[in-house]
A = this chain, B = another copy of it.
């Protein structure tokens, strides 16, 4: 059973990932206990273990727990009875523990490499090859964000390839766009998320890096491009300048972090495809957790409630449940 499916009074025994764990002291009677956040690919749950001798497991480690699900202040809570670290010979299904991109990283990476190999703008192709060489290792498992869209193992590849496909189907409709330049922008635009965020190989981001906080992936991205341009011997080529502009302008406006707004068509198209793909990814996520005919709670990234339409053929919630949800004032779309 996955965490998202747990209900009050369920019994749960299985492997989970430790996000946080600390030892605390009860105010009521002074006894010690563990306060933890445990996760799997489906969601997370607060857990208590009332054992003064238990030590908090390292965050990021996998543990096996035996527990009961209770409700506290209207939220589910896992009361852990026994817990141990996962052992080498445990048959842990790691893919069930963290969210992972829906396609294999190698396949997605291959699609990017093929695109680059097909570029006819020579200096740009050389630049892109070097750029991917500099970042490949982390690119294989990095998520696209800490919490918002594509927050999953290889999420950065997922987001990039998804955008690349959108770019490719739109290019024939707007033939004045330069295909190589737009594809290069798509592939390069978020590469410096690998230097902006700290992520482990599960795709989890505990924090940003020092340089990530002081410069951000837009500026760091241009430094990476400059490094690749030197390595490729294409410094001073127009395409280096164009790509740098695309990187710093891809958030569209100053208040979203871009010191310059997009000033040529491929830069504008990059910004819009990025925005479209991120929004569609988040919308799909909210819909998957909101029954048809029902509004979600306010979603932070959109600053509004979202509605799951009753498309023909969709299975609706039984009347009483939907009614109940409406009475409570909305569905908590984010678990």
Contact = CB atoms under 8 A, between A and B. Distances in A.
Contacts of A174: 280, 284
A287 interface: yes
A178 B304 CA distance: 21
Interface residues of A, number: 88
A268 B306 CA distance: 11
A269 B25 CA distance: 44
A123 to B, nearest CB: 8
Nearest to A218: B259
Contacts of A257: 254, 259
A148 to B, nearest CB: 15
Interface in A91-139: 120-122
Interface in A200-235: 206-207, 210-211, 213-216, 218-219, 222-223, 226
Interface string A247-281: 01000001101111101111011001001100110
Q: Please give the count of copies of this chain that the complex contains.
A: 6
Nearest to A208: B295
A308 B263 CA distance: 9
23 contacts: A25-B72, A35-B74, A162-B173, A170-B276, A207-B329, A207-B330, A213-B263, A213-B307, A214-B260, A215-B241, A215-B244, A215-B245, A216-B259, A219-B248, A223-B223, A226-B226, A248-B259, A261-B302, A264-B306, A264-B307, A265-B280, A269-B280, A272-B275
